[in-house]
Chain A
Amino acid sequence: MNNDEKMGEGQKQVLKQAEQFNRQQQQKAQQSRFPEPLQSLVDLVGPEQPKGQIVSAGEPKLTPQQYKQVMNQHTPKPTVVKNCLYAFGIGGLICAIGQIVQNILKSFGINGVGMASASTIVMIFLGAFLTGLGVYDEIGKRAGAGSLVPVTGFANSMVAPAMEFKREGYVYGVGAKLFTIAGPVLVYGITTSFIIGIIKFLIGWMR
């Protein structure tokens, strides 16, 4: 009995506080910016009382195949031409920067394999540096394959997991997850080069 009375008081307190809070929220709503979709909605529908009609509509029975058609109608298609242009432009720009780096190295008298290695190192540094600054993902968002295929993209795919998983420690975080993105590239890149090597050997042997 005593407990019931206490709860009653508690409920009264809640009632009072809730009213006060909800009145504040009403004021807040009146001051707030009203977004377009709801604005038009209220204009069209108005706060009217429910009518509660009985419906006789059928439930749509869809097969996955039928649904796929409906889904494809509403799913926006990728902007292929625009994406290709971005990839071509930005990918080309990255390659042009690579060429500039090579030419500068050449002017310092570095030639041949040394020049190729040194320019790759510079480009990897740039890719890693821009990833660290949080810029490379913004480039990649637009450029797609244009920023993925050059060696800077490879640097991004190594540095991004390194940054991401540092919080789980250096062994089970960075160490274990460093190759989550680059791993598949390495696995199939090495496998492919191995197969091509065997083919080359066989052709040479048959001659």
Chain B
Amino acid sequence: MTAPKLKGKQTVAFATPPVIVGFGSVVGPMEAQGPLGSCFHKILKDTLDGEQTWEKTESKMLKDAVKMVIAQAQLTDKDINYLLAGDLLNQIISTNYAARDVSVPLIGLYGACSTMALGLALGSMLIDGGYGDRVVAAASSHHDTAERQFRFPTELGSQRQMYAQWTVTGAGATLLAKQGYGVKVTHATMGKIVDLGVCDVNNMGAAMAPAITDTIISHFKDLAIDESAYDLVISGDLGQVGLDISKDLLRQAGYQLDKKFTDCGVLIYDPNQDTHAGGSGCGCSAVVINSHIMQELLAGRLRRVLFVGSGALMSSTSCAQGESIPAIGHAVVLEAPA
């Protein structure tokens, strides 16, 4: 007998969809100057925000975002059953250090930029499965910590490609509960690793586009629906290049998503901010989903949103050894309150 909540190969449908009863976003100054600046909940005054290192700042942002959503619901740490969080740094240190000051059982995640979607999917499974009543899902990234780990020292005068993406400085958190009033998580589709041989670490959008496309198509097939089921499909940071490729691949597969397919990395920055292909990093989708998209869903301007988080799961070692980039996409369906 198959699992009753599993639909098709990769998709789960929640029997009692978990409700998002709180969400919060913390961003750096550059993100605050972007088009979504007014939607965010807390803005840092600079990229260090009074800390000694950027790693400490990232950790503090994540902690602030988690504390923020717990406080908004007027709950305390002991009311939360699990914290599902992750970031980009080696051994997910931002998460582990942030969780020192949050006395909630931690499940550390690494899904690169897909961490927020992964956290929402797993958190919803925990709640619908009856393993917890309230779960916080969170993710963070910091431009400067990511630069020094994956690329070059921040002050080095190097030239970035036109298709390169800019790691977002930000952290977002979502509080999922068994019941309440708010946006519902109705379905989740867990992605497979797709690797079509892209080796260029600066072209992460192109590396991730096939994985995202695969997850979107699998989701449609598993539920026997098509693009008309959604007001918006939003990917968690393909950037402009990856978004164009993904649209093209979906068109080839017979889905006309052009007008209702956008990307967190494209929305977060203004083209004048010179980020080239847009934003990336765990924090990118975490802050866009936990501010603008949730607000639009609550305001009723969007009814059903398919959020697909995309992760490029390489390391600087694997790339230096000439390995191509394995990519993944995890999807969750967000539905406006009735």
Contacts and interface: CB of A to CB of B under 8 A. Distances in A.
B157 A147 contact: yes
A131 interface: yes
Interface in B250-283: 252-255, 259-260, 262, 266-267
A75 B254 contact: no
A156 B155 contact: yes
B158 A53 contact: no
Nearest to A19: B181
A207 interface: no
Interface size class of B (residues with CB under 8 A): 35 or more
A176 interface: no
Given A17-B74, A29-B295, A35-B36, A41 B260 contact: yes
Interface in A127-144: 131, 134, 136-144
B127 to A, nearest CB: 12
Interface of A: 7, 10-11, 13-15, 17-19, 21-22, 25-26, 28-33, 35-38, 40-42, 44-45, 47-60, 62-64, 67-68, 70-71, 73-79, 83, 131, 134, 136-144, 147-148, 153, 156-157, 159-161, 163-165, 167, 180-181
A11 B298 CA distance: 20
Tell me which of B161, B197, B225, B301 has the highest count of chain A C-beta atoms within 10 A of its own C-beta: B301
A160 B245 contact: no
B39 A32 contact: yes
Given A50-B229, A55-B254, A76-B162, A32 B295 contact: yes
B231 A48 contact: yes
B148 A164 contact: yes
Contact of A21 (B22, B163, B253): B22
B118 interface: no
Interface string B69-108: 0001111000100000000000000000000000000000
A26 B300 CA distance: 9
Nearest to A148: B157
A42 B305 CA distance: 12
A31 B37 CA distance: 12
A178 to B, nearest CB: 10
Contacts of B46: none
Nearest to B55: A167
Nearest to B245: A74
Given A29-B298, A29-B299, A75-B241, A156 B35 contact: no
A13 B133 CA distance: 13
Contacts of B73: 14, 17-18, 21
Contacts of B300: 47
B185 to A, nearest CB: 14
Nearest to B304: A50
A22 B38 contact: no
Contacts of B155: 131, 134, 136-137, 156, 159-160, 163-164
Contacts of A59: 214, 217, 221, 253
Tell me which of B177, B179, B292, B298 has the highest count of chain A C-beta atoms within 10 A of its own C-beta: B298
Contacts of A26: 295, 298-299
Nearest to B160: A141
Contact of A33 (B22, B38, B180, B260): B38
A138 B156 CA distance: 9
